[in-house]
Amino acid sequence: MTLLLAVRNVFRHRTRSLITLAAIAIGGASVIFVGGFFENMFFKMRESYIKGHTGHIQVYRAGFLEKGSSRPFDYLIENPQEIVPLIREIPGVIRVTQRLQFSGMISTGDNTVSCLVQGVEPLYEPSIRQSDAQNPREDLAEVGGAVIEAGDPLDEGHPYGTILGRGLAAGLDAKVGDALVLVANTVSGAINAFDISVQGIFFTSAKVFDDHVLRMPLDTAQQLLYTNAVQTLVIMLERTEDTPRITRQLQARFRERGLPLEVKTWEEINDFYTKTRELFDRMYVILKFVIALIVILSIYNTMTMAVMERTNEIGTMMALGTKRSGVLRLFIVEGVVLGVIGGMLGVLLGSAVTSIVGSIGITMPPAPGSSITWLSKPMVVPSVLAFAFLLSLVTAVVSSAYPAYRASRLEIAEALRHV
Amino acid sequence: MSLVAVEQVTKVYTIGNAQVHALRGVSLTVDVGAFLAIVGPSGSGKTTLLNLIGCLESATQGAVHLDGQDVSRLSNDALATFRAHHLGFIFQTFNLFPVLTALENVEYPLYAKPLSRRERRRLAMEALEHVGLRDHAAHKPMELSGGQRQRVAIARAVVAKPKLVLADEPTANLDYATGQEILRLMRRINEEQHTTVIFSTHDQRVMQMASRIVGLRDGVIAEDGR
């Protein structure tokens, strides 16, 4: 009876109920849309960092992260060719690439600047020509890696061909085809210099990176430094979600064999991502709170009006033997009915809007520290849908609690006089 | 045997700083099977007396016994249960639930009893038939005339077989002929089912149908004619 009465009462004033339901639904849909927007932003940010910079997992010589910055060449992996196969045979690993990173000076003859040199394996470091991507400004992050905006990517056939970050090239005033001199310390402390050429100019999603980095083939970098060692092994996985599992497997393998190596995941390396995520999560909480508040006020208003208008009816119910708890229950159930219907409408509306916008995409300005625009494609996230529905329900119950309580405290005789 | 015993009851309302004495020491006993009219000008205390007998509010002083039980000692919940099982109410403004059909309105008091859905439906249908509205079971109150609404309200008041039905100005919102018809219906139920009925009215012609007339004036009983 309570449910029957509640449902009928909710639809008694169609316009008013529709406005209240719209408030709940729009609130829920906003939570879903913003949640989907953030989720997509973090997904792209994460994937672009992983593909363009850090990989999923990095392996170093133990101690490198603590002391490597002052004495980088004391913490090199001397036998990468023995370790790489150990990693490669773990299921889920798609690529292991070696890197040797050091600082150097480059000179055009007129201009000399310091830079960060990355010796990388041309075959395995992902990069793409801008002209090859259908719409390079749009979805760089999904393509991942470095985008070559002029010239060619690194290749094994050109050991002295290097690629320069966009900002670095601009600072040097260097163009594709220019000859440069690269000077660096060898691992034993002597000074060595190579003639190199600018084979290409690249950019990534991180501006700071593009301002300082020069990439060259690993073999050439090792010759320059008089070493066969590498600094970092960068591991790419099939699925980002496998990171914790494979990290544990790697640690176990290294321990079994007594290899002095340490393992870091992309999350541990990308402090910027983790911090940004925390910041946005906090903002999202505030947004949810504000939405909940608006929905609460809207339902509260509807329920208070309902109690006032139905004072006489409440008196009649109690005269006919309905207990105060029964009146309380009726109005709470009316709130729940509003919450359930509003929540379902919100889930439908939110999923629809999110997937429509997600299929079209919104062009977004460059992220902090980045130089390229990107395309946001909000995603429908099941856990966010569930949360939005629950939020509607809980706010509905919370906001009908006080009006329901007031209804249940009415004096019968007084309520019956009320017309 | 008396069904209702009101003993030296006073009722004082405090409105702002003013005290209004609605009843100033009223004593009244009503026998089982009575068809009693409470009459008097407006403000004489008719509604207050009916509310006290109906356990809708409590007396400032004095006691009300219903069916041998001192209801002034019962808790709110116990009073609700007592009303559900022993009392029926008819109101001046009919007070049907607008969102429920005639049949659902009549069923409403039966939810306090442990009945199956079918049994509830059957009893409600029977009561509706008794007031001649079987064909209007599926109608909402808005679709019924004033007289029909009051007949649904009567069916609702008697469906749970209460010992006592209280009706506050049941004919005041109806034209004369319809009011007569409603009173005759209440009288018939009183006679057929031996349900005690107490109603208030200020209509001279209506009160003639009563088996006993109690006149109130300024919160005291001015006349009591059997």
Rounded to an integer, what distance in angstroms lies between the CA atom of residue A115 and that of residue B38? 105
CB within 8 Å: B77 and A323: yes
Reply yes or no on whether the pLDDT at A52 is more than 90. Answer: no
Residue A130 is predicted with a pLDDT of 65
CB within 8 Å: B80 and A322: yes
Burial of A189 (0-12, 13-18, 19+ CB in 10 A): exposed
Burial of B176 (0-12, 13-18, 19+ CB in 10 A): exposed
- Interior CA angle at A27 toward A23 and A30, to 5°? 140
CB within 8 Å: B84 and A320: yes
CB within 8 Å: A413 and B108: no
Would you say the C-alpha torsion B66, B71, B74, B79 has a positive or negative sign?
A: positive
Question: Edge-to-edge strand order for the sheet containing B220-225?
Answer: B87-90, B164-168, B196-201, B35-39, B212-217, B220-225
Asked if residues A218 and A123 have their Cβ atoms less than 8 Å apart, the reply is no
Asked if residues A148 and A142 have their Cβ atoms less than 8 Å apart, the reply is no
Best probe of the A interface among B60, B97, B200, by most A CBs < 10 A, is B97
B170 CA: distance to closest CA in chain A (Å): 14
Asked if residues A141 and A220 have their Cβ atoms less than 8 Å apart, the reply is no
Residue A126 is predicted with a pLDDT of 64
Residue A141 is predicted with a pLDDT of 44
Rounded to an integer, what distance in angstroms lies between the CA atom of residue B107 and that of residue B123? 8
Chain A contact present for B156, CB below 8 A: yes
Between A and B, how many residue pairs show a Cβ–Cβ distance under 8 A? 62
Which pLDDT band, with edges at 50, 70 and 90, does A371 fall under?
A: low
B196 CA: distance to closest CA in chain A (Å): 17
- Closest residue, chain A, to B107 (C-alpha): A1
Partners of residue B51 in chain A, C-beta under 8 Å: 413
Q: Which residue has the higher pLDDT, A276 or B10?
A: B10
| DSSP H stretches of helix in B11-145 | 46-53, 76-86, 102-107, 117-130
For chain B, where are the E strands, in sequence order? Answer: 2-15, 18-31, 35-39, 61-66, 69-70, 87-90, 164-168, 196-201, 212-217, 220-225
What is the mean pLDDT of the segment spanning A157-169? 91
CB within 8 Å: B83 and A313: no
Q: Residue A113: enclosing H or E segment and its boundaries? A: strand A112-120
What is the mean pLDDT of the segment spanning A80-106? 89
A283 CA: distance to closest CA in chain B (Å): 44
- Closest residue, chain A, to B85 (C-alpha): A321
Residue B158 is predicted with a pLDDT of 95
What is the mean pLDDT of the segment spanning A360-365? 84
Rounded to an integer, what distance in angstroms lies between the CA atom of residue A184 and that of residue A169? 18
| Out of A6-20, A91-105, A356-370, least confident range | A356-370
Burial of A337 (0-12, 13-18, 19+ CB in 10 A): buried
Reply yes or no on whether the pLDDT at A95 is more than 50. Answer: yes
- Radius of gyration of chain B from Cα atoms? 17
Range with top average pLDDT, A117-126, A182-191, A327-336: A327-336
For B63-81, the DSSP string reads: EEEETTEEGGG--HHHHHH
Reply yes or no on whether the pLDDT at A143 is more than 60. Answer: no
Answering whether pTM is above 0.90, one says no
Q: Among partner residues B97, B99, B109, which is closest to A321 by beta-carbon distance?
A: B109
Query: How many residues in chain A?
Result: 419
| Out of A51-55, B1-5, B18-22, least confident range | A51-55
Which pLDDT band, with edges at 50, 70 and 90, does B116 fall under?
A: very high
Reply yes or no on whether the pLDDT at A39 is more than 70. Answer: yes
Q: What is the dihedral of CA A404, A410, A412, A414, to 10 degrees?
A: -140
Reply yes or no on whether the pLDDT at A136 is more than 70. Answer: no
- Closest residue, chain A, to B54 (C-alpha): A319
